Structure 1
Amino acid sequence: MKTLNLLTLLVAFVFISCKDKHEFGDLTPPSNVNASFSIVGADNTHPHGDGTGLVNFVVTAQNAISYRVDFGDGKTEMAPSGKIQHRYTKVGTNKFTAVVSAVGAGGSMSSVSLELEVYSSFSDAEAENMLAGKNVGDTKTWYWAANVAGYAGLGPQESGDNGEYGYPAWWQATPFDATRTCMFENSFIFTHTANGITYKQTADHVFIPGAYAEVLGVAKDQCHGTDVVPTITGEKQVSFVPSTSKAATQGKYNNKAYRGTAIELSNGGMLGWWVGASTYDIISLTDTQLIVRVMQPNSQYAWYHIFTTTKPSENNFTNLVWSDEFNKAGTPDATKWTYDLGKGSNGWGNNELQTYTKDPENVKVENGVLKITAKADGSGGYTSARLKTEGLYGFKYGKVEIKAKLPAAKGTWPAMWFLGNNFATDGWPKCGEIDMLEQKGNKKTHILGACHWYDTDNNHQGDYDKETEFANTSADFHIYTMTWTEKKIIFAVDNQNYFEMNNNDKLPFNQKFFLIFNIAMGGSLGGNVAANFTEDSLEIDYVRIYQ
């Protein structure tokens, strides 16, 4: 054992009061600080240890009420008893300067420094690379896999003859549990630096389950901030160490053994769920999924977490059920599209000026895109096209993705929208109308989303719309999406939401709808058509529907 008595560093505190006299008691700093360390496994043949990286520290002092150790590797811990074991994880033989402080009344401290050289042989480079990226400077962000049953779970630490200590035998969270939505705001960023892996979480709160909330004396099963858990924020160092728990060495999760590696987060770090511990057994790890287990101190509770690199959506529509990629030149696919033709009644109900045709000069597939072209007919009128899937395809709920470029000419009114399948029998607005995208003829730097229906409670038309500024819609292709569920209808462009409306069972938006693409001329939203207008097009690269 090595013992060092070094220069004592005294921290004095001066308290000044303008009017009142305060008594703080004896502020005599600790004295006679004696600190020592012993490297586990060190002998004449292996002076720097057995490769575990474990070092035992012992410190004593007069007038000390606790002790603090800065281990010199970015980690600091309190040691109330004056004894603490620490694992150094930097691979190889490395030198460290540990600062050991005796803490006295009022926060006064006396410190000594210890120079040590430790050998650590454990390494899991594959885990480091999958967690943070292979190269220095790489960063990976992880999220709660909230769409998966058991993204949070609970089981025993060691009990259970049937192996229950290796998996969440007692409880598993259901996907998108409404009582834990505050958790899902958080994300977890791991960065590969020249000195190892660092970690931080993005939210300033963590979830505290009831079992540990009772220990802290705070409200159960909800998120708490830094007033309860001061160590939430800030960058943490990530260490990779051998797993030593019974679950990691003997247990199985989904009938597979644990990885055998644990991660330690410095300075009280946690992965969005606080139970008083910062060491996580890695159960399994891939480039896109992380499953870990953390043991709550002084209990039999072991908590399980599942994370993913893709932020899940409560409406995780990923199954492609219908699409048109417009790869075949010529007329649009007749198995998918039909047409509205003519001038309609009262200009299609909006005083529109165009006549719809299915002529190639108004609608065709060319160079991998659908082109709907509005044209001046030379006689003061206009022709255009209106395609629809009515009678061929309808759907209820899902995600619609359309890559499109809008016309730029004044007076053009492009639209990508939907009507209820009952349009032919019940008419408008009882069938419901979803306008995923419209653009006014005189506001080409704006886009518009809207829904229309028949308000049965008040016996009149119901409407909700929202207009948003969005430039370059006519110069470039953009990706427009609609996410439609029994609870909400959301429109977005390039992942930026521009419309959101609540859905409910009183509205008609809980039945199948069909799709419509068109360009109108003039009318209620098209406005005045430019006098020199000749033609302009709505171009659609693809349309995809997921459920």
Structure 2
Amino acid sequence: MQSRPEVQRDIAAPNPGLKMIDVMKKFTWAIGPAMLLLLACSKKADVGDDLPPYQPPVQQVKTYSFDAAPAWSDEFNTDGAPDANKWTYDVGGTGWGNHELEYYTNTTNNANISGGILTITARKESMGGMNYTSSRLVSKTPADLLYGRIEIRAKLPAGRGTWPAIWMLPNDYAYGNWPNSGEIDIMEHVGFDPANVHFSIHDQVNFAGNSKTSTLKIPTYQTDFHTYRADWTPDSIKGYYDDQLVFTYNNPNTGWQMWPFDKSFHILLNLAIGGDWGGSQGVDDTIFPCAMQVDYVRYYKMVTTVK
């Protein structure tokens, strides 16, 4: 019976170690949230000190120019038929979608080179059910002729019913049949409206009577050679006659319907007779033979500079 009070005394006696633990717990509960906040703020400050100052993203600016030397050209320095490595022909008398009146041939009777000049001649003669013959040359330019400078030096025919053209069509019609896949008319002239030379583009929205067109009066169109040029980039198509800017069409960035000009194109040279536009005031049969003459055709590749 004497041992029990001793046990009671042991239990009731204060324990210095337990008291210290209790004090530390209370202290931790008191300062814990503040300490955690202090540590978090200190960590944030450390991370922020290591980051470089904010720099806004750099906007790249692209500018376009053209090579000094042509990537493809024909100077027409070899007499006879056009170079078969550089040109082929559209042949036939189907009206070509414009109710034209000529039959296009692939002979030197209608396309011939002499003295450094290509001459495309329209004649009053019957062939394939048509009353006139002429020629329509199609370039074998590089398949990647996408953007660039296209320059042609030419002398145009005179006379009511003539419709010479220097123009471009797509290789693959990726957006569908004309006009969806685009057309670039570097030069068009109709004989009933002498001296007014036209630069135009066509697409799904801009075609026929709604096409984008500019006109420049060139009084010596039939007596002198003049330079007809297109500068074609992802941003715009610009037309120059004798280095004078006459036409600008900017990419509206609204889709292919108004900018199908992001595919490869080729060059055409032809002299049509009659047609919906060229023949709208008839044909003067006293003008034949008549001809469009071409001194050269040159294609310069586009160069992109990023700043």
Report the TM-score, using the length of structure 1 for normalisation. Answer: 0.40
- In structure 1, the residue corresponding to 2:79 is in which secondary structure? coil
The answer as to 2:244 corresponding to 1:496 is yes
Q: Which residue of 1 aligns with 2:74?
A: 324
Q: Measure how far apart 1:495 and its partner are.
A: 1.0
Conserved in 2, the CA contact under 8 Å of 1:421 and 1:513? yes
Conserved in 2, the CA contact under 8 Å of 1:386 and 1:517? yes
Q: Measure how far apart 1:525 and its partner are.
A: 2.2
Q: Which residue of 2 aligns with 1:533?
A: 287
Conserved in 1, the CA contact under 8 Å of 2:192 and 2:278? yes
Q: Which moved more, 1:537-546 or 1:391-400?
A: 391-400
Q: Measure how far apart 1:426 and its partner are.
A: 3.1
- In structure 2, the residue corresponding to 1:526 is in which secondary structure? coil
- In structure 1, the residue corresponding to 2:299 is in which secondary structure? strand
Conserved in 1, the CA contact under 8 Å of 2:66 and 2:300? no
Matches within 5 A, 1:159-170: none
The answer as to 2:296 corresponding to 1:542 is yes
The answer as to 2:211 corresponding to 1:452 is no
**For residue 340 of structure 1, what is the amino acid of its counterpart?**
D
| 1:396/1:370 CA distance change after superposition, 3 Å | same
**For residue 198 of structure 2, what is the amino acid of its counterpart?**
L
**For residue 270 of structure 2, what is the amino acid of its counterpart?**
N
In structure 2, distance between residues paired with 1:402 and 1:392:
17
- In structure 2, the residue corresponding to 1:532 is in which secondary structure? helix
Conserved in 2, the CA contact under 8 Å of 1:335 and 1:392? no
In structure 2, distance between residues paired with 1:468 and 1:438:
11
Q: Which residue of 2 aligns with 1:377?
A: 125
**For residue 121 of structure 2, what is the amino acid of its counterpart?**
T
| 1:496/1:394 CA distance change after superposition, 3 Å | same
Per-residue Cα deviation, 1:301-347 (whole angstroms, up to 9, x for no partner): xxxxxxxxxxxx95244242110010011111111111101112xx1
In structure 2, distance between residues paired with 1:335 and 1:369:
17
User: Which structure would you say has the larger Rg?
Assistant: 2
Taking only aligned residues, the RMSD between alpha carbons, in angstroms, comes to 2.8
Point out where structure 2 has 5 or more consecutive residues left out of the alignment: 1-57, 302-307
**For residue 508 of structure 1, what is the amino acid of its counterpart?**
P
Per-residue Cα deviation, 1:232-267 (whole angstroms, up to 9, x for no partner): xxxxxxxxxxxxxxxxxxxxxxxxxxxxxxxxxxxx
Conserved in 1, the CA contact under 8 Å of 2:235 and 2:251? yes
**For residue 349 of structure 1, what is the amino acid of its counterpart?**
G
Point out where structure 1 has 5 or more consecutive residues left out of the alignment: 1-173, 179-312
Q: Measure how far apart 1:424 and its partner are.
A: 8.7
In structure 2, distance between residues paired with 1:362 and 1:531:
17
- In structure 2, the residue corresponding to 1:423 is in which secondary structure? coil
- In structure 2, the residue corresponding to 1:386 is in which secondary structure? strand
Judging by fraction of residues, say which structure has more strand. Answer: 1
The answer as to 2:188 corresponding to 1:438 is yes
The answer as to 2:114 corresponding to 1:366 is yes
In structure 1, distance between residues paired with 2:289 and 2:159:
8
**For residue 250 of structure 2, what is the amino acid of its counterpart?**
N
Q: Number of residues paired by the alignment?
A: 235
In structure 2, distance between residues paired with 1:423 and 1:412:
28
In structure 1, distance between residues paired with 2:140 and 2:98:
21
Q: Which of 61, 71, 85 is 1:335 aligned to?
A: 85
In structure 1, distance between residues paired with 2:191 and 2:181:
26
In structure 2, distance between residues paired with 1:324 and 1:410:
30
In structure 2, distance between residues paired with 1:319 and 1:371:
25
Conserved in 2, the CA contact under 8 Å of 1:488 and 1:502? yes
Q: Which of 508, 511, 514 is 2:266 aligned to?
A: 514
In structure 2, distance between residues paired with 1:336 and 1:392:
10
In structure 2, distance between residues paired with 1:424 and 1:504:
19
In structure 1, distance between residues paired with 2:131 and 2:286:
13
Q: Which residue of 1 aligns with 2:234?
A: 486
Per-residue Cα deviation, 1:126-177 (whole angstroms, up to 9, x for no partner): xxxxxxxxxxxxxxxxxxxxxxxxxxxxxxxxxxxxxxxxxxxxxxxx9x97
In structure 1, distance between residues paired with 2:174 and 2:61:
40
| 1:503/1:425 CA distance change after superposition, 3 Å | closer
Q: Which residue of 1 aligns with 2:136?
A: 386
Conserved in 2, the CA contact under 8 Å of 1:452 and 1:461? no
**For residue 475 of structure 1, what is the amino acid of its counterpart?**
T
In structure 2, distance between residues paired with 1:413 and 1:394:
29
Conserved in 1, the CA contact under 8 Å of 2:86 and 2:140? no
| 1:378/1:342 CA distance change after superposition, 3 Å | closer
| 1:394/1:363 CA distance change after superposition, 3 Å | farther
Matches within 5 A, 1:1-16: none
| 1:439/1:461 CA distance change after superposition, 3 Å | closer
- Structure 1 segments, 4+ long, off by >4 Å, are 390-394
- In structure 1, the residue corresponding to 2:285 is in which secondary structure? coil
Q: Which of 171, 175, 178 is 1:428 aligned to?
A: 178
Q: Measure how far apart 1:389 and its partner are.
A: 2.0
- Pick 1 or 2: higher relative contact order, CA cutoff 8 A, min separation 6: 2
Matches within 5 A, 1:140-289: none
